[in-house]
Amino acid sequence: MQALKDRILKEGKNLGGGILRVDSFINHQVDPALMNECGQEFARRFASLGATRVLTAEISGIAPAFSAALHLGVPVVYARKTKPVTMPDTVYLTTAPSHTKGRMTELIVSPEYLGHGERVLVIDDFLASGETILGLVRLTRAAGASVVGIGALIEKSFEGGRKALAHLGVQIEALVCIASMENDQILFGD
Amino acid sequence: MQALKDRILKEGKNLGGGILRVDSFINHQVDPALMNECGQEFARRFASLGATRVLTAEISGIAPAFSAALHLGVPVVYARKTKPVTMPDTVYLTTAPSHTKGRMTELIVSPEYLGHGERVLVIDDFLASGETILGLVRLTRAAGASVVGIGALIEKSFEGGRKALAHLGVQIEALVCIASMENDQILFGD
């Protein structure tokens, strides 16, 4: 998606170690018009899947997932990283390594909002190693629901996530693909 | 706002101790169409303030703040509760007691996204004691910016937040006001 690519070129910062800083428009400060446009594009690409729910991981996935869900006309569920007191005692919980945090994080969903038979579209900000998305897939399956598609704003294809998700046999869409971040550059792929 | 009031009556759960569970449409599972409608309503009520930025606290404030910012055509900034590695070393940080977590939480904003002279509209899910919102006000002032308005989806007027914010002298809007949660009931006020 050209608008997102342009914004990465303008404001994205290559911090080294494969970490792309996009917190001026996705993660900390958010450009709602751009995220809304990305949500429309996800809705267009996944329109035929019959998704009944969008699932993401808090925090960074929320803006694109919310926007996609708005345009698909379905609820969005945020997998929480800590269990609030308002959540029931028994939940679905899995752990996934966080690239930017350098440790394992928990992903927690209440069984009330991820039911048997749901058709789940997983949306996140990045598709990197695929570990967070695989965590969301495990939660979905634990609930007896199925993942019907996976979308990310930005794929870092050099981290192998698409390969790690291939066995799922579902449609995978990234709005922008980055092929290399070596030598302080950001090189886009297809 | 009638649609939000209806939804609270239908799905809100009074957990006692003044805690209202709304995680089927605001906090964990989110109804994007309803949140979008709430965002439109905030944008309408605060249209004349000339806000240049919306500020909220992750997680629960994100959906209404994002929607309000989309309809106002300004960026939204999420105050983070933990400092990610992608954030600069020096940040604005304050602490505020969390009612539902029973402990102090940190609110952190990068100086890059809250600049001198900004006109900040603070949006959160609840206006209860006002502590979180006052934390966001402190961050705004630390940045040399000014708070021009405060909006919440749901005010619990029996917790005194509006009084705690009155000295700020800014427009305060709640889309729904709950006057009492005693005896397992949810009674609306004006």
Residues of chain B whose beta carbon is less than 8 angstroms from a beta carbon of chain A are 15, 19, 21, 23-25, 27-33, 35-36, 58-59, 62-63, 66-67, 69-70, 73, 75-78, 80, 84-87, 100-102, 109-110, 112-113
pLDDT for position A75? 98
- The residue type found at B131 is E
- The mean pLDDT of B125-153, rounded to a whole number, is 97
Task: Test A87 with B62 for CB contact under 8 angstroms.
Answer: no
pTM for the complete prediction?
A: 0.96
Instruction: Indicate the pLDDT class of residue B132, thresholds 50, 70 and 90.
Output: very high
HSE value, Cβ hemisphere, 13 Å, CA-based, for A56: 29
Q: Do B21 and A86 touch (CB under 8 A)?
A: yes
Residue A98, pLDDT score: 79
Question: What are the tokens at B36?
Answer: 């979008």
Residues of chain B with C-beta less than 8 angstroms from the C-beta of A27: 84, 86
pLDDT, position A86: 82
pLDDT at A52 over 90: yes
Whole-Å CA distances, B72 to A17, A62, B100, B135, B139: 37, 19, 30, 23, 22
DSSP states of B85-111: TTS-SS-EEEEEEETTTTEEEEEEE-G
Rounded Cα distance between B63 and A18, Å, is 29
List the structure tokens of B142: 């630390």
The answer to whether the CB of A41 falls within 8 A of the CB of A64 is no
- The reply to whether residue B30 touches residue A80, judged by beta carbons under 8 angstroms, is no
